[in-house]
């Protein structure tokens, strides 16, 4: 497959992120994407599965949830704008702001195509919740970008996820997103705050 072909259909119907790897299991019909899902063995039961509140125990939903979590971990969760050695680096802010917009687009297109309320079906899972805090700092990385107009399905999904009572309790109890002030100190690994 050519690199240019992974960014368009039919490949993007298999992997909404348009990246490699993607594995299709001909025995079950499930398609998994993102490296952590494709290369790790079938995991043991998680605490989420025991309570069955934030995860599916059914196939293929259980593994699709893990694929979306992997996407969050490999894209949304890897921004080093907070750890960049240069204070207020425009290059880092622009790079990761554009990446955040891209991921918002991936989620928006997926929700539009599937017609579901959440990433997997109509149940809020730990994969949906994994995006909450990064989406809360979106103004820092994307400035005045109007994602509610540009990505309406993403915006509606984000509102549903943030409206979850546990999320509201966490946000009210101090689980606030970092400052959106671009001149605020930047965290540097091993060195506390850099001013």
For the structural domain made of 3-194, what CATH number should be given?
Answer: 1.20.1050.10
* Mean local confidence (pLDDT), 8-25: 78
The Cα–Cα gap between 120 and 182 comes to: 34
CB 127 within 8 A of CB 34: no
Domain limits, the chain: 3-194
pLDDT tens digits, 135-164: 777 776 677 888 889 999 999 999 999 998
Q: What is the pLDDT of residue 188?
A: 30
Tell me whether strands 31-33 and 193-194 are parallel, antiparallel or unpaired. Answer: unpaired
The Cα–Cα gap between 120 and 140 comes to: 28
pLDDT tens digits, 60-88: 998 898 889 888 877 764 455 555 556 66
3 state DSSP class of 63: helix
Confidence of residue 42 (pLDDT cuts 50, 70, 90): very low
pTM attached to this predicted model: 0.65
Question: What six digits make up the tokens of 140?
Answer: 């820092």
């Amino acid at each position: 497959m050519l690199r240019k072909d992974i960014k368009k259909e039919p490949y993007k119907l298999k992997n909404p992120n348009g990246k490699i790897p993607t594995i299709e299991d001909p025995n079950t019909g499930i398609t998994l994407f993102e490296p952590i899902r494709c290369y790790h063995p079938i995991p043991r039961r998680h605490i989420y599965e025991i309570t069955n509140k934030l995860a599916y125990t059914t196939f293929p939903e259980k593994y699709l949830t893990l694929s979306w979590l992997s996407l969050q971990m490999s894209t949304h969760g890897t921004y080093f704008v907070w750890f960049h050695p240069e204070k207020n680096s425009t290059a880092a802010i622009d790079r990761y702001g554009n990446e955040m917009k891209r991921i918002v687009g991936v989620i928006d297109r997926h929700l539009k195509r599937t017609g579901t309320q959440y990433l997997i079906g109509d149940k809020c899972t730990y994969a949906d919740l994994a995006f909450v805090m990064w989406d809360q700092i979106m103004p820092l990385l994307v400035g005045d970008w109007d994602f509610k107009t540009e990505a309406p399905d993403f915006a509606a999904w984000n509102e549903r996820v943030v409206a979850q009572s546990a999320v509201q309790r966490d946000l009210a109890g101090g689980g606030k997103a970092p400052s959106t002030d671009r001149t605020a100190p930047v965290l540097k690994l091993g060195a506390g705050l850099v001013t």
